[in-house]
Chain A
Amino acid sequence: MIGHRRMVEKDILEKIVFLKDLPEPVLEKIGNIAHLETFDEEGILFRQNQEQILVYMLVSGKVFLNCRSALGKSLTLDEVLPGRTFGVSALMGETSSTFTAVCVEPCEIITLSGEKMLELFENDFKTGHSLMLKVVGIFRSRMKMHTRQFLHSLASHPEVI
């Protein structure tokens, strides 16, 4: 359940890893379109395969990212802790969510409209570029790691080839 919403001050935004090192004027712009919201325990932020229009930045509390298989089994893939950002699909104009996000305790979360963030990037391409570069850097290193692990597994179990 959603509690109160308010604009977000710079000192709160600075706690978010993704926004680290951004210049003050950019943080102010983000603060103007961001909302600080409180969610109760068991509050569902978004559901797998449903439209996802917000980016979430966890200030306090804990969120689980779960996925449900075709057979209906639920699996917790990630435990999101304060300072982390999730729901980044909305930043790329891609609105279908891969996971379900659920609060496992009362949470304070910064929410940002993906559409408004894209507008901000289009008015300030330099910031847009540096944030997208961060996203790409993280995705790229995870892809490399997955590939390395996959090859290691195949090398350890050559019978599956």
Chain B
Amino acid sequence: MVKIEDLKRINLLRNFPDHLFEIIAKEAQLSIFGADTKLIAVNKPIDTFYMLIMGQVAVKRELTPKIDIILDNIQSGSSFGTSALIKGSTANYIAICQEPCEVITLSGERMQQLFKENHELAYYMMLGVAKQYKRKMDTRAQMIMKTLNENPELKEDINDIENLTLVI
């Protein structure tokens, strides 16, 4: 059980109706993890959805055995592990605490069960996840367009530029 005030600090839950906060609050756990704790590991199932209250979490991928690339630095108010809300999938990245972190967790399995019983909760959660993906995709599109503008010759090497758009 967590406080509704803590849930209201999470971007993905912005504009949720109050009665849904009550449902989530009952299901959620508040945990504190030390620096260097690995929350998501490569080739392990993503079974928990994480919402960061305090601290910073790095999302990394191994490029070579000697080099890790940080794909994202998750700050307080942000969330990760959204795959847990959809269906069991295996991680191809590492999520690791960069400092002591206060995190709200939700069991993916339990949330998927709740989605079957409560379509309102399912809709608002998925709308939040879609908005989060859209913001990330927009940021990436802007970065790629800036790079292409500065290096137009690179466009010839890209054969799927259309995937930057949100056409479905």
Contact = CB atoms under 8 A, between A and B. Distances in A.
Interface SS of chain A: helix
Nearest to B157: A153
B130 interface: yes
B67 A77 contact: no
A65 B73 CA distance: 31
Given A71-B149, A155-B64, A128 B123 contact: yes
B120 A85 contact: no
A116 B60 CA distance: 40
Contact of B163 (A89, A126, A129, A142): A142
Contact of B165 (A99, A133, A161): A99
Q: How large is the interface on B (under 10, 10 to 19, 20 to 34, 35 or more residues)?
A: 35 or more
21 contacts: A70-B146, A75-B145, A75-B148, A75-B149, A86-B166, A94-B134, A98-B142, A98-B166, A125-B120, A125-B123, A126-B119, A128-B119, A134-B168, A135-B126, A135-B168, A136-B133, A139-B133, A151-B61, A151-B63, A158-B64, A161-B63
Interface of A: 17-18, 65, 67, 69-71, 73, 75, 77-80, 84-86, 88-89, 92-94, 98-99, 121-122, 125-126, 128-129, 132-140, 142-147, 151, 154-155, 158, 161
